[in-house]
Amino acid sequence: LLQPKVIIELIGNSLEMAGKQQNWVLMVTAQSPTNIAVIKYWGKRDETLILPINDSISVTLDPEHLCTTTTVAVSPSFDKDRMWLNGKEISLSGGRYQNCLREIRGRASSIEDEEKGIRIQKQDWEKLHLHIASYNNFPTAAGLASSAAGFACLVFALAKLMNVKEDQGKLSAIARQGSGSACRSLYGGFVKWVMGNDVNGSDSTAIQLASETHWDDLVIIIAVVSSRQKETSSTSGMRESVETSALLHHRSKEVVPKRILQMEEAIRTRDFPSFARLACVDSNQFHAVCLDTSPPIFYMNDTSHRIINYMEKWNRFEGTPQVAYTFDAGPNAVLIARNREVASLLLQRLLFFFPPLPDTDMDSYVLGDKTILKDAG
């Protein structure tokens, strides 16, 4: 549960000549984790500025497992802005990239480092071109919030490279213009994206509700049900929901505002039963909205439904929730265990009931001091 960080800062080639010669390169590499919403964002009131119709709350993951690593480089020898995603060149002409680049360039400051002999004036940034290379250590666009980590990392790395002197909140509002959920990845721990009221979106930013150390017994397990790219992107799915789902409008006005307050309280007091109940019902309502959309959108599959069923039964059997589940715009399950002990049990049970390969040789699992056989059902 960590916020973005710079992992390498490099000034290459003839750095002492930087600013004077044409063969210098200035580079920053940053890493940014993804985040998983426990109260979902679904629906925009402004498509260009990416302004949502309700607040949302997320948990930022540990970057070791699900993160984007982005290197941004600037050099007078680059003749245009270019970007590579997972090694493949992609177009930067889309409005979302352009909006982020414009916002960051507009806030760039001069860099002067006598020791290294570097001098870039504020106005130079408008003329200098960028090369950007970004890698996800998890499947792209499979409903694992890859765009969240991607745009958060891009904006964070560019801001470092161009010496932008804005706080994380302002950077979150810029990342938001790349992908809504990205604004929440600028902070670690528990994060709220405040929808804001302003027409220009200046108050639609992320704020940290609690740091990564506040509730660190929680363990998040992501069960990758399918790593295929989803058929309906979040962007077009939520647009269709805004246009056709009456349930979405009821949700954003009547349900989410109360749920946000309850979730904030559950996080503040580390009340796992309330946290789990709210996260599960919110995920289920989001998918109900998808079904209420015309034509309906199906993000979950049979395996996702079986996982929900299983978690519900487990929680009911224990009398108090042990595991929360939430699903984004895809079939993959994000499972939040209340502590390490539950997480290890959860992992065993997942491997047993949802074996990664059909002919797995696992025919039993350990539950407390008992060994449960697969044939026992």
Query: Which one of residues 29, 54, 70, 181 is an interface residue with ligand DP6 (CB under 6 A)?
Result: 181
Interaction residues for ligand DP6, span 20-39 (CB under 6 A): 37
Alpha carbon separation from 341 to 76, 95, 113, 322, 346 (Å, rounded): 54, 46, 51, 10, 9
- Binding span for ligand DP6 by CB under 6 A among 87-95, 177-185, 256-264, 318-326: 177-185
Interaction residues for ligand DP6, span 137-156 (CB under 6 A): 145, 147
Residues near ligand DP6 (CB under 6 A), total: 15
The pairing of beta strand 88-90 with beta strand 51-52:
unpaired
Contact 225, 344 (CB under 8 A): no
Q: Does 329 bind ligand DP6 (CB under 6 A)?
A: yes
Least distance (Å) between residue 173 CB and ligand DP6: 13
Q: Does 157 bind ligand DP6 (CB under 6 A)?
A: no
Contact 146, 34 (CB under 8 A): yes
Write the CB contacts of 332 (distance below 8 Å, at least 6 apart in sequence). 142, 143, 144, 222, 223, 224, 225, 226, 304
Least distance (Å) between residue 38 CB and ligand DP6: 9
Closest CB to ligand DP6 among 73 and 300? 300
Residue 63 has which token pair? 């970057």
Contact 104, 164 (CB under 8 A): yes
Interaction residues for ligand DP6, span 220-249 (CB under 6 A): 234-235
Interaction residues for ligand DP6, span 44-83 (CB under 6 A): 50, 56
Q: How far apart are CA 37 and CA 213, in angstroms?
A: 18
Closest CB to ligand DP6 among 37 and 242? 37
Instruction: Give the DSSP H/E element, type plus range, for residue 90.
Output: strand 88-90
Q: Does 205 bind ligand DP6 (CB under 6 A)?
A: no
The contact set with ligand DP6 (CB under 6 A) reads 37, 40-42, 50, 56, 145, 147, 179-181, 234-235, 328-329
